[in-house]
């Protein structure tokens, strides 16, 4: 009994310790990549500036706003990558994450001004509240490629991961193939493969799901998810925080949870209590959130210590702004935020698909008079996550609805998975 309690205490302590270790690893990796001289990226950035000038800040890949690329942020990322920080040490530079800015010009315009027009009238702007982990790849890539080439690389990586995911699902559980396809199409893969901003979260999502399928046996099927599963979700949350610039992170959490539900749907005991399922999902969610927020806090802590600046103040001010109900003089309501997300759906086709899925399920229930109650509750809970996110981040979700609408991919996956797990064999939850 004493050994069991000691083991439990050690496992609980391993969570904050893991975040500290991950924060130190993040610092080391960022410091290393900041040793790359900015001059090595000059040619790549000059060629990239021409592409950005030609396309503009938010070019549409299709006819709808849901296909808009975020060249505004991609340019910001490239400006950060190419910033010359030779006058300060790599430790400090990697925590400040400075970039050049021209007066009254947006990042995309600044990139063109500096690297195409050879403008010199710029000043330094620091962006320390994020890790900017994407620089681990962007800085080396810009030494050899331009923005157009990097897009092709992103395309190969994302399509490759999607293909591997489909193959693994075919081996593990074919029922999840269609939900994955629908969720990816909903996110508009043409845009997610062409934008640095969107590609990061999409790649993390696919990679995490693949690892879950590959390691599912080793991670185990213990009570409440088990220590290994919770640690895996913590790691995924920390990785998301390290690389992402607050795009649509709930997609990572939501699709991971739904994959977990799919993996263990047939392995669950027939009379397993619903509350155990709920506790498992909530614990895994808390582990992911702990990793996501913990890694963010580590950046503010380490950055403040190394730079001597109060990064916490900057981060908390922005956090208050992004979670507020105001945008200038505009008062933002939760209903308006939700409406804005649904306005992004192309030609309302996805509303039609969702309605068809609901009708299909209702017909199935009426015909067979049997459904998996546990699955209904769990999938409904996970499907609510994007709306909780919109409620918390009203300002951010309202302003950036052209990409935050992708959080609704969790709803698409949840609903289609719910139908697929019923239609596949018509058995109640847990039957072999």
| 153 within a domain of the structure (yes/no) | no
Residue 343's pLDDT is: 86
- Report d(CA 84, CA 73) in Å as an integer: 19
Residue 428's pLDDT is: 35
Query: Cβ(213)–Cβ(259) under 8 Å?
Result: yes
Residue 224's pLDDT is: 57
pLDDT tens figures, 291-313:
999 999 999 999 999 999 988 88
| 415 within a domain of the structure (yes/no) | no
Q: Which ranges of the chain have pLDDT less than 50? A: 1, 269-271, 425-432
Range of the domain at 116: 33-142
| 73 within a domain of the structure (yes/no) | yes
Helix residue ranges per DSSP H, 173-273: 177-186, 189-194, 196-219, 226-243, 250-264
Catalogue the long-range contacts made by 28-33 (C-beta closer than 8 Å, 24 or more residues apart).
29/133, 29/136, 30/94, 30/95, 30/131, 30/132, 30/133, 30/135, 30/136, 31/90, 31/91, 31/94, 32/90, 33/94, 33/135, 33/136, 33/139, 33/140
- Report d(CA 151, CA 235) in Å as an integer: 27
| 234 within a domain of the structure (yes/no) | no
Structural domain count of the chain: 1
| 320 within a domain of the structure (yes/no) | no
Structure tokens at 137: 């790849």
- Report d(CA 282, CA 128) in Å as an integer: 31
| 406 within a domain of the structure (yes/no) | no
Contacts of 201 by beta carbon, 8 Å cutoff, 6+ apart: 240, 243, 244, 247, 248, 249, 251, 252
Contacts of 379 by beta carbon, 8 Å cutoff, 6+ apart: 258, 261, 414, 415, 417, 418
Closest CA to 264 of 173, 165, 182: 173
pTM: 0.91
| 325 within a domain of the structure (yes/no) | no
| 420 within a domain of the structure (yes/no) | no
pLDDT tens figures, 51-84:
999 999 999 987 778 889 999 999 999 999 999 9
């Amino acid at each position: 009994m004493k050994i069991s309690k000691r083991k439990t205490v050690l496992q609980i302590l391993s969570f904050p310790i893991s975040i500290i270790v991950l924060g130190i690893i993040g610092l080391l990796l960022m410091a290393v990549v900041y040793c790359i001289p900015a001059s090595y990226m000059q040619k790549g950035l000059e060629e990239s500036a021409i592409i950005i000038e030609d396309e503009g800040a938010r070019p549409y890949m299709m006819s709808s706003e849901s296909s808009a690329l975020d060249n505004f942020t991609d340019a910001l990322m490239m400006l950060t990558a190419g910033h010359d920080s030779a006058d300060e040490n790599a430790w400090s530079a990697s925590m400040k994450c400075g970039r050049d800015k021209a007066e009254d010009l947006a990042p995309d315009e600044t990139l063109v001004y500096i690297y195409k027009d050879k403008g010199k009238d710029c000043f330094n702007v620091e962006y320390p509240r994020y890790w900017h982990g994407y620089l681990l790849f962007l800085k080396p890539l810009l030494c050899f490629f331009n923005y157009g080439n990097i897009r092709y690389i992103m395309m190969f990586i994302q399509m490759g991961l999607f293909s591997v995911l489909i193959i693994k699902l075919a081996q593990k559980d074919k029922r999840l193939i269609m939900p994955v396809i629908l969720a990816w199409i909903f996110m508009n893969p043409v845009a997610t493969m062409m934008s640095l901003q969107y590609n990061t979260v999409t790649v993390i999502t696919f990679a995490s799901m693949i690892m879950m399928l590959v390691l599912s046996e080793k991670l185990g099927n213990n009570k409440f998810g088990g220590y290994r599963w919770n640690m895996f979700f913590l790691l995924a949350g920390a990785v998301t925080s390290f690389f992402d610039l607050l795009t649509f992170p709930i997609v990572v959490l939501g699709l991971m949870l739904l994959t977990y539900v799919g993996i263990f749907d047939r392995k669950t005991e027939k009379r397993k209590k619903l509350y155990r399922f709920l506790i498992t999902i909530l614990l895994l969610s808390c582990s992911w959130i702990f990793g996501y927020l913990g890694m963010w806090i580590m950046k503010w802590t380490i950055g403040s210590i190394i730079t001597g600046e109060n990064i916490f103040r900057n981060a908390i001010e922005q956090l208050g702004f992004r979670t507020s109900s105001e945008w200038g003089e505009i008062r933002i309501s939760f209903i308006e935020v939700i409406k804005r997300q649904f306005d992004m759906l192309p030609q309302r086709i996805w509303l039609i698909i969702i309605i068809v899925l609901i009708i299909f399920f209702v017909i199935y229930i009426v015909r067979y008079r049997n459904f998996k109650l546990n699955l209904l509750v769990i999938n409904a809970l996970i499907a609510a996550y994007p709306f909780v996110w919109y409620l918390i981040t009203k300002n951010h979700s309202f302003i950036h609805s052209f990409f935050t609408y992708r959080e609704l991919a969790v709803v698409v996956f949840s609903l289609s998975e719910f139908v697929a797990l019923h239609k596949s064999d018509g058995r109640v939850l847990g039957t072999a």
